Amino acid sequence: MREVLDTVFAENTRLRGYVVDERGSLRKHMTIFVDGQILLDRRSLSDEVGPDSEIYVMQALSGG
Amino acid sequence: MTLNTNTLHIGTRKGFFVVEGTGRDARIVSEHFVGDNVVLSTTDRRDGTWYVVMDHGHFGIKLHRSEDQGSNWTEVAVPEYPPKPEGFVDISMWGNEREWVLANIWSLEPALDRDGALWCGTVPGGLFRSEDRGNSWKLIESLWGVESRTRWGGAGSDQPAVHTINVDPRNPLWVSVAISAGGVWRTKDGGASWTPHTKGMNAGYVPPEQSDWPEHQDAHCVVQSPSSPEIFWCQHHMGIWRSANDLESWTELHVEPSSFGFAVAVHPNDGDTAWFVPAHSDQKRAPIDGRVVVTRTRDGGKNFEVLTNGLPQSHAYDLVLRHALDIAGDGESLALGSTTGNLYVTDNQGDEWFCIANNLPPIYSVRYA
């Protein structure tokens, strides 16, 4: 997962700080679905991603 | 006991306030627990008891009860989750092992099948019941045990919250609950079994193929019509839905200037009349163009009026949360409170609003006693 995001961030450098924090961990109220499953490793983004995987990066519901 | 249905209870970030009077004559008459975070309140109209929920932060969630309309308060028990069975996998949407620990109380309603009984909805997603006016509590294992429960998400709170409890006027053993985000569920056997009721709803915050899954529906607030109990209104994260067929299915309504919001109220004697307080959108949780408005339908959602008389129409950034709009039993008086600490009431169904207080702490709940 980290490799995928790094590729995206390389094309859009400003996006990085919106999705991950300065340690590279997923921001608290962001969520990622990989093939319909919620990402397990939010800290290191080590979840396996296949060549045909479908990935959604979403804002989690929160706030008021 | 004679109860004044126009007594209004205000739960705020820094205290609990009581308002008496209607319309322009409404006034705050007493304050309680000043400095403490009052999440919500409810009144058991059968015996006149007031209940107040507090989030003490450092010291946890507490429940207080008053039998003399606020002169004296007694702290009673709060729900406690049972220990998690060893080996039970309960991973939250944040990737952490979910703790079976009371994080908050987001709903509290009299259980009308038994004197003194109460239903209580909590974070992280447990529904509890007390048979003894809050002296003890028991988890409703049947709902906690539904297969999808571990997939319920956080929304509003970081963990799932049971924020709506509707006891059916036709039969007190029929109870519907709504969960952010875990859908709408109903029991017809006093809590022994539950079925989801979200057909027609959709969620835009999950992959498209999961958008109609019951457990993803973030119903911010659901009210059941007391006079036409087959009618339910829902302010959902994605918009406004209505069910006129006793929860068999929901129909989406598109309302101007916005269908986004948290609260909904229904008229006690007319299931087709309902009120909403819109915010701009999920991404912008503030009034549109700095104007606080209320939307009202009188025809089951075919048409909506935008009510503004007496509400601030410039540079206002008030948000009205799910428990911060209520209607009195007279069907004429409504109250709304905002996170900016402004309290408005009307005594003519919203045609004209009066500001009762401008400087309250952030308001979490308004509730007619």
pLDDT tens digits, one per residue of B108-141: 999 999 999 999 999 999 999 999 999 999 999 9
- Of the candidates A36, A62, A63, the beta carbon closest to that of B207 is on A36
pTM of the complete model: 0.94
Q: How much is the ipTM here?
A: 0.83
Element housing A63 (H / E): none
Residues of B in contact with A56 (CB under 8 A): 206-207
Residues of A in contact with B93 (CB under 8 A): 31, 38, 60
CB contact under 8 A, A40 and B319: no
CB-based contacts of B282: which residues, under 8 Å, 6+ apart? Answer: B237, B260
What pLDDT tens digit does each residue of chain A (64 aa) get?
A: 999 999 999 999 999 999 999 999 999 889 899 999 989 899 999 999 999 999 999 987 766 5
d(CA A51, nearest CA chain B) in Å: 18
Residues of A in contact with B158 (CB under 8 A): 62
pLDDT tens digits, one per residue of B47-100: 999 999 999 988 999 999 999 999 999 999 999 999 999 999 898 877 778 999
Domains of chain A, by residue range, sit at: 2-59
Range B208-221 burial, b when 16+ CB lie within 10 A, else e: eebeebbbbbbbbb
Residues of B in contact with A64 (CB under 8 A): 156, 262, 285, 319, 321, 339
The span from the CA of B169 to the CA of B261, in Å, is 26
The span from the CA of B190 to the CA of B175, in Å, is 7
| B90, B92, B94: best to mutate for the A interface, most A CBs within 10 A | B94
- Of the candidates A56, A61, A64, the beta carbon closest to that of B154 is on A61
Q: What percent of chain B has pLDDT over 90?
A: 93
- Of the candidates A36, A59, A61, the beta carbon closest to that of B181 is on A61
Kindly report the three-state secondary structure assignment for every residue of B205-229: CCCHHHCCCHHHCCEEEEEECCCCC
DSSP B30-50: EEESTTS-EEEEEEETTTTEE
CB proximity under 8 Å: B 169-228 to A: 180-181, 205-207, 209-210, 218
